[in-house]
Structure 1
């Protein structure tokens, strides 16, 4: 007896996939729309990102408390208290530096004007075009600095609003973070891959800021003592500036150097300015440019090129705050897009992720 013919497959034929070029264009278009939305909502995204980073850094405070039997609500309260202490300390430091900087500009307005006139005359003697002189005069004129300070003062309400949202976000995020440790037990093995990526991202963010804080503290102390020994006014302000700008990868050194160098030129002339630049170059270049990037790249597994590009990219997207948050945002983007797909190991390796090579070797052994 002949076997019965199998019934024809009634399922509709699957649609052919989109051409690779069209898929790439659609992905780029979607990315542009998302980035444009982030740029439009930077006033909301910035405080949210700051609060998330603070909570990630302070979250390990709860673990020793839970191990000794403290209730979960007490551990969460400890995380919130530490996070608020960090925020208040940073706010006080920046407020002190801002007030002192404003007083410096007002006190040395006359000397700054005289320095500008000297530089303009020197440029004229060198035969440079008048536009160059006008540019220098506009950059160093006291009126320009005072307008800058005025704009900072007018933005204090926005800063206060952002701080309110940051404090609120920290409160809610710290409470929600207590639930994530139970994800594997509540949802089983299916939640483990996502939690592994989440924990790796948290470790990278914490290590990055710990490394930067340690190097920034060393650089700030050395710079502050050197400026104090040279007689540059307000060395504590420039030490705080060195510490804060240390969290800006690659270009933070220049941002922290320009203001004290200009002030040294005003109060002591070219010799004092060159001395400040020399000290900053010796200390900051050795620590921040030669030594620290190696530790940072090892801590977060990001290439030096990608670290530098991320500063420019995220500053363009969400403003100046993006320079400080560039590394965590880049790590988050890599975790969401690349780390979930084993086929993107080479892209992760290209970004500086050394673990991608180890995963590739393990996968090769399994298939062999």
Structure 2
């Protein structure tokens, strides 16, 4: 008797209600795509640095001045009055900074002209000294060329050109400040307009604004202290134009970790020219005691606690943002890094460990639960 043919059961079609499973990208591919997208975005930011730099500076200044709006609103003042005062304060800060830089640049140029003969003599003396040590001509030329009047005049001229560019950009920064200050009033109404669903995003950017303000308050406080100490010490040592170097110390204090070196080099060179090695060593000693103690050992800890950013990331951010948007990136490095963290890491719960590595002490499961 013939056996009945065996029928292989046909594959059952997926039910209409079952969702189709789409294969996901491998983690390595996701990382590579993310890195490629970051490179493209950063290349675009670098190409548009002339626009993005002033825009970021205006945003930071408006964020710093924004708390002025709250007490006026509580007193029942019209919104346009509080906005006008925020804009006026923002403009005042910009004009004071620009005036300080203009004064320091003009005085620095006059010093170079006045001490050009001494600079030349010091350069020749250093050339002979390094040559007597048997150092190569290339090394000797590189060291002594720093003290030649033409090099320093060219440096001062480049500073003047940069300052002219900053002053030209002030027009756009003023305009940005007006628009941003006017739109900032909408931020406080976001939760009321969109309900509780918008609260996490509003809180994230409110925390970012608070971190930016704390960072600049800490830096301004330490910068003022360092400027007073440096200015008085240089005046006591007889260094010409101590007010210029005090202003330089204040401005370079906003460059994390390496700012004191930028503020030390010009007065140290001038001390070598007018007083020789002993006076130069005295200036370096003053900066080592005051600036290293305050700016390198104490201030970074206060900054780290104020913005919840690790010391390593603070240092690397200066180099990174200077490479991306130029010298202004050194001053805006911390706010820009905080902005990237707010936009990318703080919106994704899976990035909690990266936030913790960046120095965010609240980035723990229990900390996020309390924040929520």
TM-score bracket for the superposition, by shorter chain length: over 0.9
Question: Where in structure 2 are the equivalents of 1:13-52 lying within 5 Å?
Answer: 13-52=20-59
CA distance in 2, matches of 1:305, 1:174: 33
1:254 aligns with 2:258: no
CA distance in 1, matches of 2:336, 2:194: 27
Which residue is 1:264 aligned to?
271
Partner of 1:49: helix, strand, or coil?
helix
Which residue is 1:99 aligned to?
106
Question: Where in structure 2 are the equivalents of 1:141-220 lying within 5 Å?
Answer: 141-220=148-227
Answer yes or no: is the 8 Å Cα contact 1:302–1:352 preserved in 2.
yes
Name the stretch that deviates more: 7-16 or 115-124.
Answer: 7-16
Which among 357, 360, 364 is matched to residue 366 of structure 2? 360
Deviations 1:220-246 (A, max 9, x none): 000000000000000000000000000
Q: Which runs of 5+ in 2 are unaligned?
A: 1-13
Partner of 2:146: helix, strand, or coil?
helix
CA distance in 1, matches of 2:15, 2:277: 89
Partner of 2:256: helix, strand, or coil?
coil
CA distance in 2, matches of 1:53, 1:114: 45
CA distance in 2, matches of 1:180, 1:312: 32
Distance change in 2, residues 1:328/1:161 (3 Å): same
Answer yes or no: is the 8 Å Cα contact 1:345–1:360 preserved in 2.
no
Distance change in 2, residues 1:215/1:152 (3 Å): closer
CA distance in 1, matches of 2:240, 2:291: 20
1:302 aligns with 2:346: no
Which residue is 1:126 aligned to?
133
1:60 aligns with 2:34: no
Deviations 1:137-166 (A, max 9, x none): 222211111122233344454223211111
- 1:11 deviates by 5.9
Answer yes or no: is the 8 Å Cα contact 1:120–1:137 preserved in 2.
yes
Deviations 1:28-75 (A, max 9, x none): 000000000000000000000000000000000011111111111111
Q: RMSD over aligned Cα, in angstroms?
A: 1.7
Flag the structure with larger Rg. 2
CA distance in 1, matches of 2:239, 2:160: 25
TM-score normalized by structure 1?
0.95
- 1:10 deviates by 5.2
Which residue is 1:351 aligned to?
358
| Total equivalences in the alignment | 359
- 1:344 deviates by 1.3
- 1:341 deviates by 1.2
CA distance in 2, matches of 1:299, 1:361: 17
CA distance in 1, matches of 2:368, 2:276: 62
Answer yes or no: is the 8 Å Cα contact 2:211–2:307 preserved in 1.
yes
Answer yes or no: is the 8 Å Cα contact 1:223–1:239 preserved in 2.
yes
Answer yes or no: is the 8 Å Cα contact 2:101–2:163 preserved in 1.
no
TM-score normalized by structure 2?
0.94
Answer yes or no: is the 8 Å Cα contact 1:54–1:83 preserved in 2.
yes
CA distance in 2, matches of 1:130, 1:310: 36
Name the stretch that deviates more: 127-136 or 315-324.
Answer: 127-136
- 1:342 deviates by 1.5
Which among 83, 86, 89 is matched to residue 82 of structure 1? 89
